[in-house]
Every structure is written in C-alpha cells, then in structure tokens.
Amino acid sequence: MTSCGGGSVSSDLKERVTRSRANRAAMLKRFGFIPASILRLSRGALSKSMFQYQSEDGARHINASISRPTKDAGARAVDADRKRRGMLGGVLETKHGNSRAQASIMPAELVEFFVKYYARPGDAYLDPFMGQGVQMQVAHRMGLHYHGYDASQEFFAYIAAVRDKIDNGSTVLNVNLGDSRYPANIPDGVGDFSFHSPPYWDVEYYGDEPEQLGKLDTYDAFLAGMQDVMRAWLPKFKPGAYHVVNVNDMRRNGEFLPYHADFARITRDAGWVMVDTWVIDGLVGGLPKAFGVEFNLKRIAPKTHEYALVFRAP
C-alpha cells in the first residue's frame, strides 16, 4: 500500500474506484440508468410488441378465432365505453352505483425492470394474478419459466392462446384457470421470483366468476381474501425468493383506501418478510394528469405514482 502523503492514493482505494467505475458501466448497460427508489419508466417498444387483450393490434396479431365466453352486460358496457371514448381504461357504473374501472394493462417495461433486478434466466416466475398475459410474455422472452393463475375465464382464454403462439419449448409456460387462493397446480418450493399487480376489489372490473375477490362485499373481506392468496403462495417459493407487488391506493364512493399500506400489512402477517419499497412515477395517473386542477380543487392530491412492495420468502 502506498502512502497517502503528498497526494498519493492507496492501492486499495484505486482498486475500489476502478471496481466502482466498472460496476457503474455494467449497471448502465443493463438498465440504461442507475436505478433509484423513485423509478421513472415509460411504455415503449417492448409494450408495443406485446400481445394485449385490449389492444386492436394485439387482437389482430393473436387472431380473432380465440374462443371466449359470452360477455355479460357489465363487460359489454366496459367495451362500449372504451370504444366510445377511444381509450383504454374505461369506467363502468355498476348496478350498485359505484364506478368500476376496466382492468388495466401491465407495462411490459415495468415487468422487464424487476425481472432484470431480482431474477435471472432459468428462474421460475410465479404469478397469482396473470391479468392479461404481459408478465408471461416478458418472462418467456427473458428466459424464465412461468407458472400463473387467474380466475377470469375470458382473460385465461386469451392468455392460453398467446401461450400457444409463443411457446417454443425454451421455457415452461404453465397457465391455470382457477381461484388463486387454492394454487394446487403450482409445485411447492419451485418459485424464485414474482412480480404482479393484485386485483383492486370491485374498483376494477375483472369478470363475474364466483372466485373473483372483487365480489366480496366489504373491503375488509377483500383484504382477508388477498391475505389467503399471499399465505397460499408462500410455500410455492424457495427460501429467500423475491416477491414484488405493484400496487396503488384506491378511492371508492369518495372514501380513500390506503391499499398499498394494507397490502404490506396483510402480506407480512401471511408470513412474508418485507425488505424494500419502490415508488413508480409516470406510468399511471391518466385522470389525475388530465384533470389535475379539478383534483386539487377538491383537496385531493392528483396521484401519478404507484408502489412496488418487495418481500422475500423466509
């Protein structure tokens, strides 16, 4: 080790500086930026390349021959509203008098980031809420095996058709129609990683299947059902596996529901260890962005961020 006198630097410090520069260059190459707790991403080419159930391009790519159950009046109302407004994320006024947003589409770039950050090729990606299949597609592209569940017959029919289109045998694509509280078709101890977004009670519309947690009468009952899901999936993961949940707060009939805080609590009580939190900025907030002044006049902060809660299996 050289002397620190006369402006000289120790060999140890030089090595640390060199290593730090190399690590920074590698991280920039991997992500394109240095990740920080406030994560700013945008939808881009990857999202556009996905098969998307609510996208005209996705429907064209996947082929209109997919067999889907007949839609009920509520689902048809969502489609009509979306078509009328020329946008995704339409709002449905239900027979109970509360507005329910159409199920949102997961940004593929968000899935890609968390796969890169917490997983590696060959890992098993578990997904209790498959949604519209974006997670499965990204997992497959990035060389992860995928095991998922969803209660929506309509979304499942679409996801199964997408699976058949993309499955080239390079990864396992195990998709299941059923109640995520009872994931019997997922082997115990197989999961290395998960990234998903949970349902938003009856604020978003997912379908009328009896297994839908949104059909539960109260927010507390819904949270209890979500805790059942988190408890049921814990044995499916390996010790130390990362489980990342993309979640936001809700408003229902004028009441603010701190869903991200409640979700953290019920998941910890289900046996998971919470290790971190990310704030996702810029991927949400269509109405708050468009009507920011109106939100502020009501003394409601226009919400343009979501959360990613990070847990590990003990």
6-15 burial by CB neighbour count: b if 16+ within 10 A, else e? eeeeeeeeee
- Provide CB contacts within 8 A for 254, sequence distance 6+: none
The first and second tokens of residue 283, run together, are 């991927």
pTM above 0.85, yes or no: no
pLDDT at 18: 87
**Which one, of 234, 220, 142, lies nearest residue 186 by Cα?**
234
With 0-12 / 13-18 / 19 or more C-beta atoms within 10 angstroms meaning exposed / middle / buried, residue 108 is buried
Quick check: 36 and 46 in contact, CB under 8 A? no
Per-residue pLDDT of the chain (314 residues; tens, 9 = 90+): 444 554 555 888 888 888 999 999 999 999 999 999 999 999 999 999 999 776 544 444 444 434 433 444 444 443 443 333 332 333 333 333 344 455 678 999 999 999 999 999 999 999 999 999 999 999 999 999 999 999 999 999 999 999 999 999 999 999 999 999 999 999 999 999 999 999 999 998 889 999 999 999 999 999 999 999 999 999 999 999 999 999 999 998 889 999 999 999 999 999 999 999 999 998 876 677 788 899 899 999 988 899 999 999 99
List domains and CATH numbers for the chain.
39-312 (3.40.50.150)
**Which one, of 235, 231, 240, lies nearest residue 312 by Cα?**
240
